[in-house]
Structures are given as C-alpha cells and as structure tokens.
C-alpha cells in the first residue's frame, strides 16, 4: 500500500496527506515502485522514464525540464579506473534537481501555492527553479555564508531569499517557523525528495546493462543522495532486477564528520561534534536529521564512512580540473576518498560528480591563484 509512515512511532498516514512530520519525527514513504525493462525501450531519456516508479498520480502534475540520464563515464584516478556519473550537468548544476522535480510535482499535486525551503545552496537553487517552472511562489532560507553564485541563482529564479546569520542549524530553525504556515519543500524532511534522488540508482543500473555496481562512493551530509540511491537499488532488488546491493561508502569532510563518529563508535544517536570551516560546504552538516538511516545503510551494505581533509579535497579537485572536469569542491571529496580506498582488480566503482564548478567561482579563483 502507498502511504506515509513515521520513522519513530510507525503511525501511517494516507498517501495524499500533506504532512511532512509526525510529532517532530521524520516520515518515510512506502511506495510500490514498478519498473519493466520492456517499457523503458521507447521512452525519452529523462529521469521520468521510470514513470511507474515515481509517486505522482497525474501526468499533468509532473514538473520537469527533461532532466536526468546523466552520462556515466570511465576515468582514471591515480591510474585506477572508476565510473563518474555527471550529475553536475543538471539544469541547476547539481543532482538536487532529481529530488526537486519529484518534490515540486508532489506540491503541485497537492495544490500548493506557496512553499518554503532551507538549504546551504544547491537544494535551494533546485527548489527555486522547479517552483518557478510550476509557478509556485517560494521562500528560500540560507546561511549567510552561502556561496554568492548560489545566492544569485536562487534570486534570479524569482524566489524570496532569506539570509540567516549563524550556523546551518540556525537557518533550519528559522525555516521551521515559516513551515508552520506553508508547504515545507524540505530536501531533508520531505520523503518525496528521496523518491527523486532514487533515480540515480535506476540510471546506473540501466547504464551498466541492467546490473548493480560493486561500490558506490557518495559525498554525504544530510544524505539526500545516499538514501535515495539506497531506496533505488532496494527497489531493483525487490523487483528481481539485481541480485545484490552495492556497497555504500559515505564520504564526509574531516572538519564536519558526525556520521563518521557515529559509525566508528557504534552510537545509536548523533553525537555533538566540534566543526571547522571546510571547502566542502555542500556536506558540512553538523546535525543531519536522517543520521541513523545513513549509518544503517552503510552498516547493512558492509560499506564504510571515509573522511577527507580539505587538502585531500583541494588536491583531488586540482587533479580533476587538470583533466578537464570542472566540479564543485564538495564533489571532489568523492575523488579524494577513492584515492584512499583499496579496490579489487575488477571492482566496479561509481562516483557522482555532484555539482558544477561554476557554483564556486570565488573558491576556484583562490585555488587558481595559489597554484
Ligand atoms: C547536496 C550535495 C551533496 C550531498 O549532500 P547531502 O547533504 O548528503 O544531501 C554533495 N555535493 C553537492 C555539490 C551537493 O549539493
Ligand atoms: Zn510518529
């Protein structure tokens, strides 16, 4: 049955209930995804080709720019092969468009006219773009330290921008007040966002000739890609399209690594940690709401959590740029992690290039001047 379910008390709510929480606890969506290989043959190359796996009832509510089906390309890192999925090529410059496309379609299906969202940048830009396409008004809350290119993007899409002083958590608190009165288009709280990011898994499976890779390496803060990928591969397993799940490797910045600590010390709740500024701004999340889900995924798939320092990340970014890949510093954490991992001879490893380098021009200029 398709329904919302509380991750804390197991209460269920009807599919079309607009709520995004249950007494302060997270909701997940139980959804019976269908994928038939024969259906895919004649469909457009967009993430909506998996139509029967996406939880939107009516086609007229689908909000899309024909995004997705990003290329999966082999590269060599220190002489070792891996596959990079070019998620920086999305309309707004990051994979967050996968989640935004489904989430804003959901908002449209519910008849929403105004929404709020908080983000350290890319999710805000994606929600603003899809809200513009759906003609829904939107307010985006960001920490005042957010990169100027992302702020410009959010404003140019016509969203109302609120810059909040202090930490990412201060921004979240400011948003919660507004979310009492308007649809909360949260990429963290709203389970429909993950129903979009799961298409990352479906596409990799199709591109590998209907197979799962051995290993996924994923930059992780709030977990929007890693949780989505897990849902996607679990669907494929349930449908009998693959025989095993990949190993999930989450990558954190050593300067902000609460999940690493939770995993290593075998904790069941999120520890309070010290953080420092990091060049990997996209994953600098001190208090990820879905921490236990993320750590569970890593444990269940016999994966790992790897941390990388800013200097590892900068070096990986430079290596990539020197080969013609222009990606966000945050995306380079996956490359830096791959450099540290031991891999088997024929292991198929997939890394996402999560965001476009043009999002981070000031950081790039600084690096360019140092080299
Ligand atoms: C959102 C994002 C990530 C992953 O972040 P989560 O907080 O785990 O969702 C990685 N790289 C970039 C560029 C991002 O925008
Ligand atoms: Zn509950």
In DSSP notation, 10-44 reads: --EEETT-----BTTB-EEEE------HHHHTTS-
The Cα-based distances of 209 to 63, 202, 351 in angstroms read 28, 11, 17
Domain count, the chain: 2
Distance 198 CA to ligand 2 centre (A): 24
pLDDT tens column, 89-135: 999 999 999 999 999 999 999 999 999 999 978 999 999 999 999 99
Say yes or no: 290 and 360 in one domain: yes
Domain boundary residue among 163, 192, 221? 192
Q: Which domain holds residue 342?
A: 72-94+195-370
The answer to pTM > 0.85 is yes
* Residue 289 domain-assigned (yes or no): yes
Closest listed ligand to the CA of 250? 1
Tokens of 161: 């921008």
What are the pLDDT digits (tens) for 286-344? 999 999 999 999 999 999 999 999 999 999 999 999 999 999 999 999 999 999 999 99
Does 199 contact ligand 1 (Cβ within 6 A)?
no
User: Contact 349/343 with Cβ under 8 angstroms?
Assistant: yes
Q: What's the gap in Å between 265 CA and the centre of ligand 2?
A: 27
Nearest protein CA to atom 11 of ligand 1, as residue? 354
Please tell me whether residues 216 and 78 are part of one structural domain.
yes
pLDDT bracket for residue 228 (50, 70, 90): very high
84 and 134 part of one domain: no
| d(CA 107, ligand 2 centre) in Å | 22
Give ∠ CA 306-311-150 in degrees, rounded to 5.
85
Domain at 150, CATH number: 3.40.50.1100
DSSP 8-state code for residue 276: -
Give me the residues near ligand 2 (ion), CB cutoff below 5 Å.
6, 8-9, 11, 22, 25
In this structure, are 287 and 243 located in the same domain? Answer: yes
Q: Is residue 11 part of a domain?
A: no
User: What is the distance in A from the centroid of ligand 2 to the CA of 146?
Assistant: 33
């Amino acid at each position: 049955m398709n329904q919302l379910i509380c991750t804390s008390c197991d209460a269920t709510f009807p599919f079309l209930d607009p709520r995004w929480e249950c007494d302060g606890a997270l909701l997940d969506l139980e959804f019976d995804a269908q994928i038939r290989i024969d259906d895919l043959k004649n469909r457009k190359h967009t993430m909506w080709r998996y139509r029967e796996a996406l939880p939107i009832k009516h086609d007229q509510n689908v909000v899309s720019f024909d995004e997705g089906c990003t290329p999966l390309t082999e590269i060599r890192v220190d002489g070792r092969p891996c596959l990079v999925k070019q998620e920086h090529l999305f309309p707004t410059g990051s994979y967050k468009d996968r989640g935004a496309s489904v989430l804003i379609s959901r908002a449209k299906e519910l008849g929403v006219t105004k929404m709020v969202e908080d983000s350290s940048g890319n999710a805000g830009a994606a929600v603003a773009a899809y809200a513009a396409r759906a003609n829904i008004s939107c307010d985006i809350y960001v920490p005042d330290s957010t990169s100027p290119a992302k702020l410009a993007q959010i404003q140019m899409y016509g969203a109302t921008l609120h810059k909040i002083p202090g930490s990412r958590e201060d921004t979240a608190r400011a948003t919660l007040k507004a979310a009492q009165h308007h649809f909360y288009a949260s990429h963290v709280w709203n389970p429909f966002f993950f129903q979009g990011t799961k298409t990352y898994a479906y596409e990799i499976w199709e591109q590998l000739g209907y197979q799962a890779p051995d290993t996924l390496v994923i930059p992780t803060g709030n977990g929007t890609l890693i949780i989505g990928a897990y849902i996607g591969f679990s669907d494929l397993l349930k449908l009998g399209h693959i025989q095993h799940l990949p190993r999930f490797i989450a990558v954190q910045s050593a300067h902000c690594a609460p999940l690493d600590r939770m995993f290593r010390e075998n904790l069941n709740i999120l520890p309070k940690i010290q953080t420092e500024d990091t060049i990997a701004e996209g994953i600098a999340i001190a208090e990820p709401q879905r921490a236990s889900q993320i750590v569970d995924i890593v444990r269940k798939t016999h994966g790992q959590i790897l941390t990388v320092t800013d200097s590892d990340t900068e070096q990986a970014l430079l290596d990539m740029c020197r080969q013609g890949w222009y990606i966000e510093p945050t995306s380079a954490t996956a490359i830096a992690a791959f450099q540290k991992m031991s891999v088997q001879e024929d292991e198929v490893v997939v890394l996402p290039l999560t965001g476009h380098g043009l999002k981070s021009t000031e950081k790039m200029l600084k690096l360019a001047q140092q080299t």
